[in-house]
A = this chain, B = another copy of it.
Amino acid sequence: MYGLPLGDGTTAEGGAEFIGPTQDRIAALAQDMGVATFPTYNEGDNVYYRDGRRSLYATDGLLGAVPPDWGVIDLELALLRLGGMIEDVPVGEPWKAAKADEWDSQTFHTWSRSNSLSSGARFLMDVFVSSTLSARSRDVSLLYVLHYAAAAGNAGSPGSIDRLINTKDGAQELRFAGGPEQVPIRLAARLGDAVRYNAPVRSIATGGAGVTVTADGVTVSAKRAVVAMSPAIAGKIDFSPGLPASRAQLMQRYPMGSVAKFVGVYDTPFWREENLTGQALADSGAIDVTFDNSPPDGSRGILMGFINHDNVRRLDSASEAEVRAAGLESFGKLFGERAKSPVRTAMMRWDNETWSGGGPVGLAAPGVLTGFGPALREPCGPIHWAGTETSDYWTGYMDGAVRSGERVAREVGEAL
């Protein structure tokens, strides 16, 4: 939820962006705040760029992208197997799956290679991980991926890979008028002076009556504290006395993904004239996934591309001009020459943002969910944990963040 300034008084989504079916809690909160939604542009074909060849595909989802050969069957079988396993993951408690040990002993890379033969199926499983987690398949455990997909639903509708990756009927279906940051901005306005800005918390001391939280310029004493941060970033706070080992060690092993968002602004969404959605998947170049981020009236065109994992790490110390050149080269390859000449560009480099440390979400390598998972949510005395990583449904998404807030509010209410 971050409005990326475009230099002309308007903004594009620089961080979290979409909302989709079963994301009920962010939907309710947005409605409460009077923030409307509109459909992500999704008319026409998507671009598929692989092995130096550009082609088009019509269908949402991974299967639609595979050239129609035996790779489709290969991928379909792998997705069927994944779907079966996802059903067996207890939402919010993946470490309790009957096969949790087996699934948490291997990377998703290992599983995907053992369960496919075609390079097409393997590429699409990798790009599924990259587009949803900004990570490579080797950075996360199979159990974590299953857990993430199992969480892409609600109590009435189980999660699935399709719901994670799809635009229509999926997590990218809708966008927010004015940007999703309108939700916290309006919420903060209601709260007034209770919200302190630019005051990073440096230490939390517990004992006696409760907690003492020391931030830059303000110290607060209370009965309970809620830490609503990614585990890795919460690890920067000095807790005294030290946290229980399970929590302290979890915060050492739940790293953020590596991601930047790159945006090109054009006079018109010219790709629409060519019957393109603006969505693309690519196996090379800085950007591997794109979306049409134009305003709802299409009064101008905005292309957005994700620079993920190794691709962004290569550019973490690059100048803005170098990132711009790399981003526009990707856009040109995917959407033609016109895409190389935007009116302006903008970018949000989450890896370089001190208080995020990457994005979009904390990741779990093998061994972490089974060894440390319960510590994600378990309160440490008067310290409670919120944040999207602690959510049962839609962990990693704005909806998960809101759910975690509702859960922790109940938790604190019951404790007081």
A361 at interface, CB cutoff 8 A? no
Per-residue CB contact flags for chain A residues 185-203 toward chain B (1 = under 8 Å, else 0) read 0000000000000000010
Selected interface stretch from A85-93, A251-259, A294-302? A251-259
Task: Give, as a whole number of angstroms, the nearest-CB distance from A141 to chain B.
Answer: 8
B242–A352 CB distance below 8 A: yes
Q: Once the chains bind, are B252 and A255 in contact (CB under 8 Å)?
A: yes
Tell which of B139, B236, B252 touches A358, judged by Cβ atoms closer than 8 Å. Answer: B252
Q: Could you give, for residues 333-350 of chain A, a 1 whenever the CB lies within 8 Å of some chain B CB and a 0 otherwise?
A: 000000000000000010
Which residues of chain B are within 8 angstroms of A372 by Cβ–Cβ distance? 313
Whether A357 is near chain B, meaning CB under 8 Å from some CB there, is yes
Chain A 210-221: CB-based contact to B (< 8 A → 1; otherwise 0): 000000000000
Q: B245, A249: Cβ atoms under 8 Å?
A: no
For window 218-254 of chain A, which residues contact chain B by CB distance below 8 Å?
232, 235-236, 238, 241-242, 244-246, 248-249, 252-254
Given the complex, which residues of B lie within 8 Å of A74, measured CB to CB?
A: none
Cβ 8 A contact of A252, one of B110, B232, B349, B352: B232
**Minimum distance in angstroms from A240 CB to a CB of chain B:** 8
- At the interface, yes or no: A104 with Cβ under 8 Å from chain B? yes
Give the size range of A's interface with the partner: 35 or more
A366 interfacial contact with B, CB 8 Å: yes
Which residues in window 58-117 of A have CB below 8 A to B?
A: 104-107, 109-110
Within 8 A of B (CB), among A308-337: 309-310, 313, 316-317
What residue in chain B is nearest A243 (Cβ atoms)? Answer: B354
Oligomer copy total: 2
Residue A407 at the B interface, CB < 8 A?
no
| Residue A184 CB within 8 A of the other chain | no
Cβ contact within 8 Å between A139 and B367: yes
Residue contact A105 to B105, C-beta cutoff 8 Å:
no
Does A351 have its Cβ within 8 Å of any Cβ on chain B? Answer: yes
Q: CB distance B256 to A371 under 8 Å? A: no
Partner of A236, one of B110, B238, B244, B253: B238
| Given A258-B249, A365-B365: A235 in contact with B236 (beta carbons within 8 A) | yes
Q: A246-B316, A365-B365, A366-B366 are in contact. List 12 more A-B contacts (CB 8 A).
A: A104-B138, A105-B138, A109-B366, A139-B366, A236-B238, A242-B352, A245-B349, A245-B358, A248-B357, A249-B256, A249-B313, A253-B253
Top 9 A-B residue pairs of the complex, sorted by shortest distance between their CB atoms: A365-B365, A245-B351, A252-B255, A242-B354, A245-B316, A105-B138, A139-B367, A253-B255, A232-B252
Q: Which residues of A contact B (CB under 8 A)?
A: 104-107, 109-110, 135-139, 141, 202, 232, 235-236, 238, 241-242, 244-246, 248-249, 252-256, 258, 309-310, 313, 316-317, 349, 351-354, 357-358, 365-368, 371-372
